[in-house]
Structure 1
Amino acid sequence: MADAAVGFVVEKLRDVIVQEAINLYGVRDEVEWLERELRRMQCFLKDADAKKNNGGIDGERVKNWVTEMRDLAFEAEDIIDTFMYYKLRRRESDGCIGFIERFTFIFDELVSRHKVHVQIERVKTKLLELSRSREVYGISNIGETIVTTSHPRSQNVIPILPQLRDDIDMVGFDDEKKKIVLELVDINNTNQSVISIVGMGGLGKTTLAKSVYNDLEVKRSFDIFVWVIISQQYTILEILKEILSETSPEDTIQTLSVKVFEKLKKGKYLVVLDDVWKADVWNELLKVFPDINNGSRVIITTRFANVAKIANPTTKPHELRCLDENESRELFLRKVFPNQNIETCCPTYLVDYAHQLVQRCGGLPLALVVLGGLVSTKPQTKDAWRKVVENMKGQFVEGGERCLEIIALSYNDLPYYLKSCFLYFGCFKEDMTISAETLIRLWLAEGFLPAKNIKTTEEIGLDCLEELAQRSLIQVTDRKYDDSANEFRIHDLLRDVCIREAKENRYFEVYNNNDNVDSMTMSNAARRLVVCNKIDILNYSNLMSRGLFYGVVGIINHLAFSALKGQLDRFKLLRVLCLYTSGISEFPSEIKSLIHLRYLELHILRLKEVPSWIGHLRNLQTFIVFPTVVYNISDSLWTIDNLRHVDLPCTKWVPPPNMGNNVPKNLQTLKGVNAGSWIKNTLPKLTNLCKLKIHRVCYYHADALSSSLQKLGRLVSFTIHYGQKIPLDNIITAFSNQHCLKDLYLDGSLSCEQLPHNDVFPQQLMKLDLLDSGLEQDPMATLEKLPYLKYLRLHRAYRGKQMICSATGFPQLLSLIIENLEELEEWQIQGKAMSCLKSLKIQECKRLKMIPEGLRNVLLDQLKLDYMFREFVSRTKENTGEDWYKIQHVPNISFI
């Protein structure tokens, strides 16, 4: 991790020099020397990291050397950032303060410049001492080059992620799966029953449960399916909300319990409770799982046999074993050589190395997948594979610790910037789904992403995420319409490595309310602080911290702000601030002095205003605020030149932006704003916008919106919420010549009764949502001709009785959702229409008489029929229904 710290500081120093930010203040020479020497020392850190793990006295000495090197880098960063703080503060004060106060600032700056000289001289002395001791310990130059992938891939190719695909990852558990499936579908057992899968971390419990959950026979045996991740830090309230998926802010445990009970008793249910740590979870949830003798089932995955015994004392749990040698080899090679024949994929000259690597994993699936991910990034040469073998320790301890050692090996193999990116996953709640957008914005604010002229920082961030996924250090849980990664999750054992490395290397510290006071007041406190639980007062010693996450992992229960009162303004060098807090209605005034902030996220219930001093945060890149109500947003927000992303709450109580002549030219994301005069006056000037979400667009905005949209040539995603008589003709025409727009979401009644001709639709469109459109003519005639459309949702969008998809329509469509088309009676699918369709959902189409005949020719993976009339559902009943022959080939059919 020291190489990550030093590498990060080197890049920052270089940026400061290039921007000449210190040129006028007489410290340029010192900073250039510091950057040059730290870069030189960085080349020795990989060898030092390897030597410190060898144990013995020399290993301990090298470990101390690495620690001193890291702390020295942090000290250099603190010197420069503190100096820049005074410079920025003076710049903000020019012209708005009196002579005496300005003189005071100048005097402070002279003092700070002298301190910089003194502090850099001290760093020089330490650096020279470390350089001499490096030679004594025999630390050699390994070096590192900055690349974003070990094996460059085409941007059009989705990397294979074996850890997510059941057919690849499921090795060795076929017999166990068959047993569980038989227990689930046993028609002779009509009682509600609990099936437990038990095993240590990394053994494949969740993978097996997923394979069972998605099994064709299981899917056809149940009516209601629920998957809930429990983990160590759970609340019953959170679990109940996950089961329901749709809740309101007023819901309590009592009201949710009733709703869950009512939901589950409507049919035969299968509920998976994944990663249960305490028996109390089952004892509480048992109350809301109805037992009405219809054969409902609950699957529990857990590491603890006592949990399984309490949940079902009469049935022996399914205890998973480690994989044998052949199974281990198969799983390892599938990860290293995806989509190849396992018997022939490994070159003969590498077979012995593969055997050694497989043996080191001890049959633990997660270890095999992670190690395979590491090896897949290496050249297929003897030297490359031998080095991996040599870098692994000779002896591994049993169980999860073996896996942790292999994960640590994969972590140590990362380039320095990817180490920083990977450790950031430890800042989030266990088992939490994390958006790629959030991660990239945080990494950008921290300065982790390497600069490359041919790519944007967002593209570089996605490359980093893809490489971490390729190495199996994280999991992609969802992809967007264009196949780019959208959401991620990290295995809890991998998260343990993040937290362990972070604690050892002062990267971040997680505070829980059961921690002792010393952990909050340690003199060498971490660079980032994550506060998970309630504290009375924040008593943290490291005022040089760069990130504060306060309650960010407690999404449901926000923490009281009182613990931060009078504390925030002490952290003058913060770059990232996330506050999930309660008990305030005003913007915390302490934030005003945090002029280094790049990322600011504030979640509260109600906010009086975004104050005028927000404009003092000149470095702010991302601004996210989510109260229910915002009465006023100061115009000064739009004067911040560095502003890239603004995300406001989606409510009518947010005033339209009043940018005036202040145009944030770097703005790429603008979400949650209400329509107003700014559409005509300012929107056309925001030429770098990529994502735009506007609320309450009306017909009198039509001309201005159409004119403005034509000038936004980089727009990729455009959304209108709660529109009234939306001028669709004008909007579509505005996009007709654009080549970037891929995602279009229109919510609101349209001012026309039919869609315009497909020729004027944006031809690159890949995702389209039409909600409450009120069309009277069949929209399919236009939409089916869009050549790249992959996702289509029609919700109360069409009021006609007949809908036709012609013979060659929708050539790329993957997912189709048809909801609340209440007048629809007949739907025809002709010829080879929708030949690529994988997922179809039909919901509340009350007059639709039958499944379209043409669905026989569509190779669906999934069909959902929700809230349809009984007559319609009865026609689709397995084997006996009149329409069963049309859908019998679909492996996954579900009903609500």
Structure 2
Amino acid sequence: MAETAVSFALGEVYEILKDEAKLLRGIHKDFSDIKDELESIQAFLKDADRRAADEANTNDGIRTWVKQVREASFRIEDVIDEYLRVIHVVQHLGCGASICKITHLISTLISRHQIATEIQDIKLSLSVIKERSERYKFQVSQEQPSSSSTGGIEGSRWHDPRMSSLFIEETEIVGFELPRDELVAWLLKGTEERTVISVVGMGGLGKTTLCKHVFDSENVKSHFDCRACITVSQSYTVRGLFIDMIKQFCRETKDPLPQMLHEMDEKSLISELRQYLEHKRYLIFFDDVWHEDFCDQVEFSMPNNNKRSRIIITTRLMHVAEFFKKSFPVHVHSLQLLPPDKAWELFCKKAFRFELGGKCPAELQGMSNKIVRKCKGLPLAIVAIGGLLSTKSKTVFEWQKVIQNLNLELQRNPHLTSLTKILSLSYDNLPYHLKPCLLYLGIYPEDYSINHTSLTRQWIAEGFVKSDGRRTIEQVADEYLSELIYRSLIQVSSIGFEGKVKNCQVHDLLHEVIVRKMEDLSFCHFLYEGDDESATLGTIRRLSIDTSSNKVLKSTNNAHIRAIHAFKKGGLLDIFMGLLSSKSRPLKVLDLEGTLLSYVPSNLGNLFHLRYLNLRNTKVQVLPKSVGKLKNLETLDIRDTLVHEFPSEINKLKQLRHLLAFHRNYEAEYSLLGFTTGVVMKKGIKNLTSLQNLCYVEVEHAGIDLIQEMRFLRQLRKLGLRCVRREYGNAICASVEEMKQLESLNITAIAQDEIIDLNSISSLPQLRRLHLKARLEKMPNWISTLEFLVKIRLALSNLKDDPLRSLEKLPSLLKVSIWDNAYDGQILHFRSGGFPKLKELYLARLNRVNSILIDKGALLSLENFKLNKMPHLKEVPSGIKALDNLKALDFLDMPTEFVESIDPQNGQNYWIINHVPLVFIRHWIGPKLNDFEVRTIRLFYRE
């Protein structure tokens, strides 16, 4: 949408105007004029964007106008980027009169003239665009335009299939048995207090169908004195809602309507409703609620009369459901996608409803399964596509045509366009700052599991995330992601042990909608296998490469690319990188993870605006010295590359926030100290004052001097040090204590017998994760004071005293790993009341431990317990029997007696573990680290 592009360009202009020092003479007024013109245009953009999107009503002139506004915004972004580059060069020329500097000065004068000319041209084009807007009579739009309570989107002519959800026959409903029973129980049972039941989920999940089915069931009808079903949608008036409620109540109970109903104001209507409902057990169903303040608007119309009255709401937005909690008891049901068997049943009901007895013929089963998988359990998609196929001949030829052209059919076929419009509603309702964030997910291939941290760092690099001055910009980005999840637009595909999102993705059909919007908005261009090489002509802002073809090199001719993402191994990427870096470009994100790239050109520093560089899992061996010219670089990821040493120029990158550099050798035989290797850094690291993540540094090369410099890195949240020697202990303690924001600390000794003394640390108040792979002999006292610690891993520590005594009272601890002779004793004793929140426990290669005691009342929250290669542990700990929350046991390379004792057929200790749902028996067969022979015992909880 042009509104998003203009808002983003305005933000760029605001930023540059704030910093007077960066403005050359005469430029301030030009940018100020541009700001004024953009603000004037922005006032009409909501109306213009809506009319441009309404394909039935809009002429080509309006769409052309919107496109011109968007392209002018792109030009503004580009000229600002070029201006900032030139300013940087000017500020660093100094006063010396060397030939080199004079040459630079002449070149910057030429650039400054070109910039001034471009700015004047932009001002002229904006003036023309503004004048043209008067011809189309755009209106200044409000955030929530008024309409009737059941009108849906004002001015739209398309049939809203959400309305049909209110009238689906019971025989057509599939897969809602369990949620239906849960909702009915909440309606008929429970507290006498007025209660809200919220059903939340993405568009098309069947929220309306489910709730209307429950609302109309006979046992629910007979339970309540009066009922009302109100469709809210995005456009409504509160007064219209109240009138509709009164009409429905009176119609159902056959009571006369209040006189002068349509002349009443809101206050009178609330009084009328309260009086009518005061002595009744009522049920109100508000369908499709979009705004948080809806709760405040309707709350007082519904009296809390302690008669077990109930309110149902459906919404796509979790925060709307939770907002009701401030005034009501609330039950929230997050509606899930249909499981595969129910998805297949629903598809067959729609596609073969009047033919073939509702059964799929054998010759169409393969294609039908493919279609159902494409729908990913989304009922509306299954119904829409199944409905389309019900109109086609039941032949392989006809169905194959639909499958091959499904993306095109989504845009033009009347059976499917309503599906895409319903999915689009969630995007259209987003605030402008979240729209580019959602669009960004479309850059990734369909069904791709996106790493949460990488995604948010890319948003930051692109400038989508703005700091609020109170939190780090990473925390703000995490909030953006959470909001998209709460709005049911992003699905969480994996979470960490802390319950935080690790990976996410979007539904395949929503991905199709996003990709279409991206292409319409010139947000991103896609290169797929088999694409025409000429397809890259035109304005390109971002490039998504899902091909290994060398024709990707053709795309580098466009000078406006701001992000490049590659998702396949790629061809001659070394040549591609050379061409890309040959001159300055506005590129901000370069993500080549997992490609065959083996070389980074010496002119990499030409990419002045680059903020995010991901070379992870490539064959790159060396970074050029010109990396020091990437003054705006925020994230550098070279994990699992062949880079072992950074050039000293890396220390010039004062904006660098995340420096991720290590290699893990999964191919070799297990070695705790040899499994992970870091990189060598030179002195001067103290200049990297913006660093938040630094892992892992091989410190033995620069020694104590390097460690002492680290005390200046006071923004560090994560630090990893390898090859630590005994004499570094005091320096590490002194530097780490200066890092008041530190959340993760990883220290690995240079050798197994190297004693590292960390006792002089007094406190690390924010520490959440601690990995110590070094001989300690005595547990540092400060560890037992870490109230926010959620994870600890100890290895090689050679502790004489039971380490559990220092850890058992930590209030936040969720995961404990004690490995590789971390403990030199024979008995580990988990005492009653200890480790109250611990979810994961991993004990490995503790060569002297022969007994594990678990008291009743210990480890009450434990879910996963792993034992790995404990040669003297012959029996399973009997205390496992009392661990009621245990979900999985994992035993690797345990003694033969141990394994035989828990055999389901003959094991004398099988009774100890027979309540655990999953038990894995693993045996390492080598040579690779993860080469296991696995035996799974599947168990189920007793009734």
**Could you tell me how far apart the structure 1 residues matched to 2:324 and 2:594 are?**
49
Residue 421 of structure 2 is matched in structure 1 by 405
Match of 2:787 among 745, 763, 766: 763
Asked if 1:36 is matched to 2:36, the reply is yes
**Could you tell me how far apart the structure 1 residues matched to 2:684 and 2:769 are?**
29
Residue 112 of structure 1 is matched in structure 2 by 111
Instruction: State the SS of the aligned residue for 1:43.
Output: helix
Task: After TM superposition, list the pairs within 5 Å mapping 1:332-481 onto structure 2.
Answer: 351-353=230-232, 371=316, 376=321, 402-480=418-496
Task: After TM superposition, list the pairs within 5 Å mapping 1:512-661 onto structure 2.
Answer: 512-520=528-536, 522-530=537-545, 532-536=547-551, 538-540=553-555, 541-549=557-565, 551=566, 553-554=567-568, 560-570=573-583, 572-580=585-593, 586-603=599-616, 607=620, 609-626=622-639, 628-630=641-643, 632-650=645-663, 655-660=679-684
For residue 130 of structure 1, what is the amino acid of its counterpart? Answer: I
Answer whether contact 1:699 1:725 (CA < 8 A) is retained: no
Task: Note closer, same or farther for the CA distance 1:94–1:654 as it changes in structure 2 (3 Å cut).
Answer: farther
How far apart are 1:631 and its partner, in Å?
5.2
Residue 87 of structure 2 is matched in structure 1 by 87
For residue 42 of structure 1, what is the amino acid of its counterpart? Answer: Q
Residue 724 of structure 1 is matched in structure 2 by 751
Instruction: State the SS of the aligned residue for 2:758.
Output: helix
Answer whether contact 2:752 2:774 (CA < 8 A) is retained: yes
Residue 241 of structure 1 is matched in structure 2 by none
**Could you tell me how far apart the structure 1 residues matched to 2:659 and 2:586 are?**
22
Answer whether contact 1:643 1:664 (CA < 8 A) is retained: yes
**Could you tell me how far apart the structure 2 residues matched to 1:788 and 1:322 are?**
36
How far apart are 1:482 and its partner, in Å?
4.6
**Could you tell me how far apart the structure 2 residues matched to 1:397 and 1:370 are?**
27
Asked if 1:742 is matched to 2:752, the reply is no
**Could you tell me how far apart the structure 1 residues matched to 2:23 and 2:15 are?**
12
Asked if 1:791 is matched to 2:815, the reply is yes
Answer whether contact 2:89 2:108 (CA < 8 A) is retained: no
How far apart are 1:475 and its partner, in Å?
1.9
Residue 848 of structure 1 is matched in structure 2 by 873
Asked if 1:820 is matched to 2:852, the reply is no
**Could you tell me how far apart the structure 2 residues matched to 1:128 and 1:526 are?**
24
Instruction: State the SS of the aligned residue for 1:781.
Output: helix
For residue 852 of structure 2, what is the amino acid of its counterpart? Answer: W
Match of 2:501 among 459, 474, 485: 485
Q: Bigger CA drift: 615-624 or 859-868?
A: 859-868
The unaligned stretches of length 5 or more in structure 1 are: 146-170, 178-206, 208-320, 334-340, 360-367, 382-392
Task: Note closer, same or farther for the CA distance 1:833–1:630 as it changes in structure 2 (3 Å cut).
Answer: same
For residue 769 of structure 1, what is the amino acid of its counterpart? Answer: R
**Could you tell me how far apart the structure 2 residues matched to 1:653 and 1:784 are?**
32
**Could you tell me how far apart the structure 1 residues matched to 2:856 and 2:110 are?**
80
Residue deviations 1:795-835 (CA, integer Å, cap 9, x gap):
22334332110111102212212223343322111131112
Task: Note closer, same or farther for the CA distance 1:172–1:93 as it changes in structure 2 (3 Å cut).
Answer: farther
**Could you tell me how far apart the structure 1 residues matched to 2:222 and 2:854 are?**
44
Task: Note closer, same or farther for the CA distance 1:616–1:726 as it changes in structure 2 (3 Å cut).
Answer: farther
**Could you tell me how far apart the structure 2 residues matched to 1:686 and 1:114 are?**
40
How far apart are 1:767 and its partner, in Å?
0.7
Task: Note closer, same or farther for the CA distance 1:451–1:865 as it changes in structure 2 (3 Å cut).
Answer: closer
How far apart are 1:516 and its partner, in Å?
0.3
How far apart are 1:742 and its partner, in Å?
0.4
For residue 409 of structure 1, what is the amino acid of its counterpart? Answer: L
Task: After TM superposition, list the pairs within 5 Å mapping 1:321-340 onto structure 2.
Answer: 326-327=209-210
Task: Note closer, same or farther for the CA distance 1:589–1:396 as it changes in structure 2 (3 Å cut).
Answer: closer
Task: Note closer, same or farther for the CA distance 1:497–1:795 as it changes in structure 2 (3 Å cut).
Answer: farther
Task: After TM superposition, list the pairs within 5 Å mapping 1:657-668 onto structure 2.
Answer: 657-660=681-684, 663-668=687-692
**Could you tell me how far apart the structure 1 residues matched to 2:125 and 2:214 are?**
48
Residue 282 of structure 1 is matched in structure 2 by none
For residue 917 of structure 2, what is the amino acid of its counterpart? Answer: P
Answer whether contact 1:481 1:766 (CA < 8 A) is retained: no
Q: Bigger CA drift: 860-869 or 787-796?
A: 860-869
**Could you tell me how far apart the structure 2 residues matched to 1:427 and 1:332 are?**
41
Residue 693 of structure 1 is matched in structure 2 by 720
Residue deviations 1:526-570 (CA, integer Å, cap 9, x gap):
344535422146122420211122x3x12x677632344334324
How far apart are 1:608 and its partner, in Å?
5.2
**Could you tell me how far apart the structure 2 residues matched to 1:44 and 1:31 are?**
21
Asked if 1:714 is matched to 2:738, the reply is no
Task: Note closer, same or farther for the CA distance 1:114–1:826 as it changes in structure 2 (3 Å cut).
Answer: same
For residue 113 of structure 1, what is the amino acid of its counterpart? Answer: R
Instruction: State the SS of the aligned residue for 1:794.
Output: strand
Instruction: State the SS of the aligned residue for 2:662.
Output: coil
Task: Note closer, same or farther for the CA distance 1:682–1:332 as it changes in structure 2 (3 Å cut).
Answer: farther
Residue 63 of structure 2 is matched in structure 1 by 63
Task: After TM superposition, list the pairs within 5 Å mapping 1:172-211 onto structure 2.
Answer: 172-173=174-175
> What is the RMSD computed on CA atoms of the aligned residues?
4.0
**Could you tell me how far apart the structure 2 residues matched to 1:824 and 1:661 are?**
43
How far apart are 1:723 and its partner, in Å?
4.5
Answer whether contact 1:585 1:604 (CA < 8 A) is retained: no
**Could you tell me how far apart the structure 1 residues matched to 2:899 and 2:122 are?**
75
Answer whether contact 1:725 1:751 (CA < 8 A) is retained: no
Answer whether contact 2:799 2:824 (CA < 8 A) is retained: yes
Asked if 1:500 is matched to 2:516, the reply is yes
Task: Note closer, same or farther for the CA distance 1:708–1:742 as it changes in structure 2 (3 Å cut).
Answer: same
Answer whether contact 1:426 1:495 (CA < 8 A) is retained: yes
Instruction: State the SS of the aligned residue for 2:15.
Output: helix
Answer whether contact 1:577 1:601 (CA < 8 A) is retained: yes
How far apart are 1:325 and its partner, in Å?
7.1
Instruction: State the SS of the aligned residue for 1:720.
Output: strand
Residue 318 of structure 1 is matched in structure 2 by none
Task: Note closer, same or farther for the CA distance 1:434–1:174 as it changes in structure 2 (3 Å cut).
Answer: same
Match of 1:862 among 865, 887, 893: 887
Answer whether contact 2:550 2:571 (CA < 8 A) is retained: no
Residue 886 of structure 1 is matched in structure 2 by 912
Answer whether contact 1:630 1:654 (CA < 8 A) is retained: no
**Could you tell me how far apart the structure 1 residues matched to 2:509 and 2:315 are?**
11
Answer whether contact 1:679 1:705 (CA < 8 A) is retained: no
Residue 806 of structure 2 is matched in structure 1 by 782
Q: How high is the TM-score relative to the length of structure 2?
A: 0.67
**Could you tell me how far apart the structure 2 residues matched to 1:646 and 1:332 are?**
55
Larger Rg: 2
Q: Identity over the aligned pairs, expressed in percent?
A: 25
The unaligned stretches of length 5 or more in structure 2 are: 145-172, 180-201, 234-284, 290-312, 327-383, 385-410, 665-675, 923-943
Higher relative contact order (CA 8 A, sep 6+): 1
Q: How high is the TM-score relative to the length of structure 1?
A: 0.70
How far apart are 1:470 and its partner, in Å?
0.8
How far apart are 1:707 and its partner, in Å?
1.8
How far apart are 1:575 and its partner, in Å?
1.2
Residue deviations 1:166-191 (CA, integer Å, cap 9, x gap):
xxxxx9548999xxxxxxxxxxxxxx
How far apart are 1:663 and its partner, in Å?
1.6
**Could you tell me how far apart the structure 2 residues matched to 1:64 and 1:814 are?**
57
